[in-house]
Amino acid sequence: MGYLLQQLANAVPLAALYAALAFGYALAFGVTKRADITYGAVFAFAGQILLLFTDFAYNRLWLVLPASLAIGAVMSFAYSLGAGFWIGRSVMQPLVQRSPNTVIVAALGVTILLMETARLASDTRELWLSPFLNRTVVFWSDASFKVTLTYIQLINTGLMCALIAVGGLVLRRSAWGRVWRAVTDDPLAAELCGVSAIRVFLAAYVAAVFIATCCGILTTFYYGSMDFGAGLLFGLKVLMIAAAGGYSDPLKSAGGAAGIGFAETLWTAYGPFLWRDFVIFSLLVFLLVLSRRERAIP
């Protein structure tokens, strides 16, 4: 019983991460209508920029770790949001209007650009953070087993859930949420009603990049490192995980992603680890085929 409870507790931070990433991805997909692996690249890029500037502040400027982390986080937001705005305005938005299918190819090119930029900036080194906030909180215990999570896991989970809650509130209750839905349904009709589809596109894309950046920073805080292999794997998973809840509603995408997070953790605990990704991706493809309800994309 204690082992099962521990695995369910372990699943909560992963489910929150998948849910937040899927929520942001659905925001961007609503306006691009195309699969975009750039999202995973931004997630990894944010973590690597955090590591690069934290290392510089700690080892070159001789700052204490909290100050170094703060500088790394600020610079990660600056670089990632700047890159996201440029990608949305200069790459994705023009291509979506003229030749939507080239978005997939352009996403690959942008991914390589971000990957090589981060690699060259770090001299191909793998940087690591010192562990912090790794004391445990006990939720349940008996004579021989304790169910625990660390402070950093709890903080990350709370912040990611807050991102989803605030984002969902904005989409459901604000004027911007209404115009986002209008543009995702029919950009031309929204333009005829006085809505700037270009501005909504850029705002949605930057909002998605903001969520990916937050998740990249928080994930790097927890794992201590980040590389593009992990980022692209997360991006590919999110691309398919969001489909479990449907791309049309970011909250449903987040809910489906959270369910996949629990399934992945339980498989890791009770099934063969080598088959985990194969089983999860097969499940995602199966769910996508069964639950596909979005209208066809021309």
Q: What is the pLDDT of residues 248-295, one digit of tens each?
A: 789 888 988 898 889 889 988 888 888 888 888 787 777 767 665 544
**What pLDDT is recorded for position 298?**
44
- Give the residue from 21, 10, 13 showing the smallest Cα distance to 265: 10
Which residue(s) pair with 138 in the sheet? Answer: 148
Does residue 115 or residue 161 have the better pLDDT? 161
Residue 14 binned pLDDT confidence (cut-offs 50, 70, 90)? very high
Residue 8 binned pLDDT confidence (cut-offs 50, 70, 90)? very high
Residue 26 CA to residue 240 CA, distance in Å, equals 11
Q: For the ranges 78-82, 163-167, 211-215, 289-293, which has the lowest average pLDDT?
A: 289-293
- Give the residue from 187, 213, 209 showing the smallest Cα distance to 96: 187
Q: Mean pLDDT of all residues in the chain?
A: 87
For residue 238, count other CB atoms closer than 10 A to its CB. 29
The answer on pLDDT for 197 being more than 50 is yes
User: The tokens of 140 are what?
Assistant: 């349940």
Rounded average pLDDT over 134-161: 91
* Domain CATH number, residue 19: 1.10.3470
**CA 292 remoteness from chain centre:** 22
Three-state secondary-structure class, residue 281: helix
The answer as to whether 136 is a domain residue is no
Residue 84, domain extent: 2-126+153-291
**What pLDDT is recorded for position 295?**
45
Which among 64-68, 235-239, 274-278 has the top mean pLDDT? 64-68
Which residue(s) pair with 149 in the sheet? Answer: 137
Helix 2-32 vs helix 197-223: crossing angle, to nearest 10: 150
The answer as to whether 297 is a domain residue is no
Which residue(s) pair with 141 in the sheet? Answer: 146
The answer as to whether 276 is a domain residue is yes
**What pLDDT is recorded for position 297?**
42
The answer on pLDDT for 226 being more than 50 is yes
The answer on pLDDT for 37 being more than 90 is no
- Give the residue from 193, 75, 65, 49 showing the smallest Cα distance to 127: 49
The answer as to whether 138 is a domain residue is no
The answer on pLDDT for 239 being more than 80 is no
Which among 50-59, 229-238, 270-279 has the top mean pLDDT? 50-59
Q: For the ranges 55-69, 210-224, 283-297, which has the lowest average pLDDT?
A: 283-297
Residue 30 CA to residue 56 CA, distance in Å, equals 38
User: The tokens of 154 are what?
Assistant: 């709890």
Could you give the C-alpha distances from 166 to 27, 40, 106, 118, 171, in angstroms and in order? 13, 22, 31, 30, 9
Residue 198 binned pLDDT confidence (cut-offs 50, 70, 90)? very high
Q: Is 148 left (phi over 0), alpha (psi -120 to 50) or beta?
A: beta
Rounded average pLDDT over 18-34: 90
Question: Look-up: residue for tokens 């909002």?
Answer: 207
> Rounded to 5 degrees, what are φ and ψ at 256?
-65, -40
Residue 71 CA to residue 254 CA, distance in Å, equals 30
> Rounded to 5 degrees, what are φ and ψ at 150?
-85, 165
The answer as to whether 186 is a domain residue is yes
Per-residue pLDDT tens over the stretch 78-117 = 999 999 999 999 999 888 888 777 888 888 889 888 888 8
Q: First and final CA of the chain: distance in angstroms?
A: 51
Cβ neighbors of 128 (< 8 A, separation 6 or more) are: 51, 224, 225
Rounded average pLDDT over 168-184: 93
Contact 53, 72 (CB under 8 A): yes
Rounded average pLDDT over 178-196: 90
The answer as to whether 176 is a domain residue is yes
Number of domains in the chain: 1
The answer as to whether 133 is a domain residue is no
The answer as to whether 137 is a domain residue is no
The conformation of residue 186, written as its DSSP 8-state character, comes to: -
Cβ neighbors of 144 (< 8 A, separation 6 or more) are: 2
Q: Is 2 left (phi over 0), alpha (psi -120 to 50) or beta?
A: alpha
Residue 205 binned pLDDT confidence (cut-offs 50, 70, 90)? very high
Residue 255 CA to residue 19 CA, distance in Å, equals 6
Residue 61 binned pLDDT confidence (cut-offs 50, 70, 90)? very high
Does residue 132 or residue 235 have the better pLDDT? 132
